[in-house]
Every structure is written in structure tokens, then in C-alpha cells.
């Protein structure tokens, strides 16, 4: 018989008075434990320990390692980051006057304010805003945020799956952006007179990827090389050199940064690493494989004599690039450049 079954059986034997008393006691302890979880999450984020386990973000770690649902992980992470700025909010959680949902809602509101309006709030302003939220329902909190900033409070972005192959997006855009969409639709009207917004977004996505996606750039480069070979009538060795090409003059050599990676070598790294983070946790064996915020990393840092050659380069996500720098250069030195490490 497991502990959960034993506890359920024990609960059935409690008197009404003891049952209510124990439940109230556990609810208080649960709130205290919640604040401890948030404090530990903050320290894990500061040390970026999730990177060492093969995760590219604290959110991914909270979901896959700690077992939280995506919504629960978001609430805890958002709350933790707000408490970092307003430590007194932790006491409010322990006392039961604020909860994770409220803190997460406020943190999301503050991020939208900064993103959409360039508005930042001081610690004192955040404290006053949270004070208004104490002992309020979710609807009451939403009304308070609407009073503070009607535009930001309404501009929530959501997505939900509506079929195995379709996702519904909800987003609020400015009049200026909407005019841009309408202008693009007008310019495309000669070939696609009944263009929907969904079709427009797909066109914009394809054209953007055509410009910035390394995979597509590699395809175009390979096609150009093939055409050159066909024109010359001879086979040429693909440029996958293990060292950058030599500059034609001493002055051009000096002008190149030691960190510079030639386009051909960068393309080779991207192709070899399949456009994803290659970090593998030595502790868990987890491979990151993130495709977000990818960077070409020097395995042996340039500062330690590493060269910009194929064998010394790899693809890492931004989180694991920072993690590797911390391991090789040190947390204290890196914290001078990265605020979140302090």
C-alpha cells in the first residue's frame, strides 16, 4: 500500500474538526513550499543549471524534468521573475493574499508594456500595482490592469490547436501594422485577389525564410556551385575547408576579426550540425536539439587560442553558448556581461 492510499484512508478516519484543521495547516505549508520552489527556480536560472542537463530553457526544464504542465511552469517562472524585482511578493504568497496566477498575469502585463509601449515600471510602481491585486479575483485583477493601461492589458497573444494540422492564433495588432498588411494584400492583388490573412502570413513567412534561413542559403549555394561546375565542365571540390581562406594582403588580414567565420565554413557547420543545437549533457545524455536562437560557437574559445576552422566550430543555442562560456571562462567573469547571472 503506497503513501497516498494510506493518507486517503487516514483522512476518512478524521473527525470533522481535525479534518478542517489539518487541511488548513497543509494549505499554509503548501504556500510556504511554493515560495521555496520559486526561490530555488530563481537560483537554478541564475546558475543556468538547466543547460548542464541538456535543456535550452528554464521552461523546458520545468516541464520535462520537474513534471509541471506548460501552464503551471509558465505561472511559476513568471512569478519567480516578478518576485526577483519585488521580493515582498513572496511574503504575500505565503500569507495567501497573492497567488501564482495573479503574479503571472502581472508579469505578463509588465512585459507587454515594455514590448508594445516601451514602458518600464520602477520597483515602487510594481509594488503599488501588486498591492492593488491583493485578495482580488482574476476578473478584478484584469479590470485593474485595464485601468492602468487599456491597450496593453487587452493585447494578449494566445494559440490553441483546433485540428491535428491547424492552430488558431489570437493577436492584437496596431492600426499601423494592419495598414501594412492591407497594403501588402493590395500589392499582391493582381495575382491573388482574394488573399486571406492566413495566406498572407504564409507568403511573408516563406519570403522571410528565403532571406534568413541557413538551410535555404546552403541549397542556393549548392545550386550555384553546381551551375559553375556544369559551365566549367569540371568537378570542383566543395568548400568544406578546415581553415578560413587566406586574405590577399596583410592589411586585409589585420582587418578581419579573430572571431570571423567565413560564409562557406559557416554553411558547412550548419549543414553538418543539421541546423540545431548540438549540446549533449554529460550528466544525463540529453541532447538539446533546440532550433531557437542558434549561434556558431568556437569549441576552444578565441580568447583561449581557438581558431575559426570547421573542426573547432559547432552550432549551439544561445543558452548553451552562454553555459559553455561560463564553464570555460567562469561564472563571475561572465556575470559582468550578462545581467541574469548576477
As a residue count, the chain comes to: 342
- Using DSSP, state whether 83 is helix, strand or coil: helix
Question: Does residue 237 surpass a pLDDT of 50?
Answer: no
pLDDT score of 39: 97
Range 218-232 average pLDDT: 73
Cα angle at 105 between 101 and 108, to 5 degrees? 140
Question: Does residue 245 surpass a pLDDT of 50?
Answer: no
Other CB atoms within a 10 A radius of the CB of residue 262 amount to: 16
Q: State the chain's mean pLDDT as an integer.
A: 86
Question: Does residue 90 surpass a pLDDT of 50?
Answer: yes
pLDDT score of 236: 47
Torsional class of 120: left (φ above 0), alpha (ψ -120 to 50), beta (otherwise): beta
List the chain domain ranges.
21-154, 196-238, 239-244+257-341
Range 210-224 average pLDDT: 78
Q: Comparing C-alpha atoms, which of 299, 309, 315 is closest to residue 241? A: 309
DSSP single-letter state for residue 13: T
Please give the Cα distance from 296 to 308 (Å, whole number).
Answer: 10
- Using DSSP, state whether 302 is helix, strand or coil: helix
Question: Does residue 243 surpass a pLDDT of 70?
Answer: no
Please report the DSSP string for 233-285 in residue order.
Answer: TS----S--SSPPPPSSHHHHHHS-TT---HHHHHHHHHHTTTS---B-TTT-
292 pLDDT tier (thresholds 50, 70, 90): confident
Asked if residues 265 and 310 have their Cβ atoms less than 8 Å apart, the reply is yes
Return the minimum-mean-pLDDT range out of 71-80, 92-101, 158-167, 308-317: 158-167
Asked if residues 261 and 30 have their Cβ atoms less than 8 Å apart, the reply is no
Question: Does residue 67 surpass a pLDDT of 90?
Answer: yes
What sign does the CA torsion over 147, 148, 150, 156 have?
Answer: negative
Q: Cα 169 from chain centroid?
A: 19
Question: Does residue 321 surpass a pLDDT of 70?
Answer: yes
Could you read off the pLDDT of 248-265 as tens digits, one per residue? Answer: 444 444 434 667 888 889
For the chain, where are the E strands, in sequence order?
158-163, 166-170, 294-298, 313-317
Asked if residues 80 and 41 have their Cβ atoms less than 8 Å apart, the reply is yes
Please give the Cα distance from 197 to 180 (Å, whole number).
Answer: 12
Please report the DSSP string for 147-190 in residue order.
Answer: HH-HHHHH---EEEEEETTEEEEE----HHHHHHHHHHHHHTTT
pLDDT > 70 in the chain, percent: 88
279 pLDDT tier (thresholds 50, 70, 90): very high
Choice between 240 and 64, residue whose per-residue pLDDT is larger: 64
Locate 277 and state its grid cell. 543545437
pLDDT score of 215: 78
Range 19-34 average pLDDT: 94
- Using DSSP, state whether 48 is helix, strand or coil: coil
Choice between 312 and 330, residue whose per-residue pLDDT is larger: 312
Instruction: State the pairing for strand pair 294-298/166-170.
Output: unpaired
Range 5-17 average pLDDT: 79
Could you read off the pLDDT of 132-148 as tens digits, one per residue? Answer: 999 999 999 999 999 99
Q: Comparing C-alpha atoms, which of 277, 281, 264 is closest to residue 318? A: 277
pLDDT score of 30: 96
pLDDT score of 157: 77
pTM assigned to the model: 0.73
Question: Does residue 19 surpass a pLDDT of 50?
Answer: yes
Amino acid at each position: 500500500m503506497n503513501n497516498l492510499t494510506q493518507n486517503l484512508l487516514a483522512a476518512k478516519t478524521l473527525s470533522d474538526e481535525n479534518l478542517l484543521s489539518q487541511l488548513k495547516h497543509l494549505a499554509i505549508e503548501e504556500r510556504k513550499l511554493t515560495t521555496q520552489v520559486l526561490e530555488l527556480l530563481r537560483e537554478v536560472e541564475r546558475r543556468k543549471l538547466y543547460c548542464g542537463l541538456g535543456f535550452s530553457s528554464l521552461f523546458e526544464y520545468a516541464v520535462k524534468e520537474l513534471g509541471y504542465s506548460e501552464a503551471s511552469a509558465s505561472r511559476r517562472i513568471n512569478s519567480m521573475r516578478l518576485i526577483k524585482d519585488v521580493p515582498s511578493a513572496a511574503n504575500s504568497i505565503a500569507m495567501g493574499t497573492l497567488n501564482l496566477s495573479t503574479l503571472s498575469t502581472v508579469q505578463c502585463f509588465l512585459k507587454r508594456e515594455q514590448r508594445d509601449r516601451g514602458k518600464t515600471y520602477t520597483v515602487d510602481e510594481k509594488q503599488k500595482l501588486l498591492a492593488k491585486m491583493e485578495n482580488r479575483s482574476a476578473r478584478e485583477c484584469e479590470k485593474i490592469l485595464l485601468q492602468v493601461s487599456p491597450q496593453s492589458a487587452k493585447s494578449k497573444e494566445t494559440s490553441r490547436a483546433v485540428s491535428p494540422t491547424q492552430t488558431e492564433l489570437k493577436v492584437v495588432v496596431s492600426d499601423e501594422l494592419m495598414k501594412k498588411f492591407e497594403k501588402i494584400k493590395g500589392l499582391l492583388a493582381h495575382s491573388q485577389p482574394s488573399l486571406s490573412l492566413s495566406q498572407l502570413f504564409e507568403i511573408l513567412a516563406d519570403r522571410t525564410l528565403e532571406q534568413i534561413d541557413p538551410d535555404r542559403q546552403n541549397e542556393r549555394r549548392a545550386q550555384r556551385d553546381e551551375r559553375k561546375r556544369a559551365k566549367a565542365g569540371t568537378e570542383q571540390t566543395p568548400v568544406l575547408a578546415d581553415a578560413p581562406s587566406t586574405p590577399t594582403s596583410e592589411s586585409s588580414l589585420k582587418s578581419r576579426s579573430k572571431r570571423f567565420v567565413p560564409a562557406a565554413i559557416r554553411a558547412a557547420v550548419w549543414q553538418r550540425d543539421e541546423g540545431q543545437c548540438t549540446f549533449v549533457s554529460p550528466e544525463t545524455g540529453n541532447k538539446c536539439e533546440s532550433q531557437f536562437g542558434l549561434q556558431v560557437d568556437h569549441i576552444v574559445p578565441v580568447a583561449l587560442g581557438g581558431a575559426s576552422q570547421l573542426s573547432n566550430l559547432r552550432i549551439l543555442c544561445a543558452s548553451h553558448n552562454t553555459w559553455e562560456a561560463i564553464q570555460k571562462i567562469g561564472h563571475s567573469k561572465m556575470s559582468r556581461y550578462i545581467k541574469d547571472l548576477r
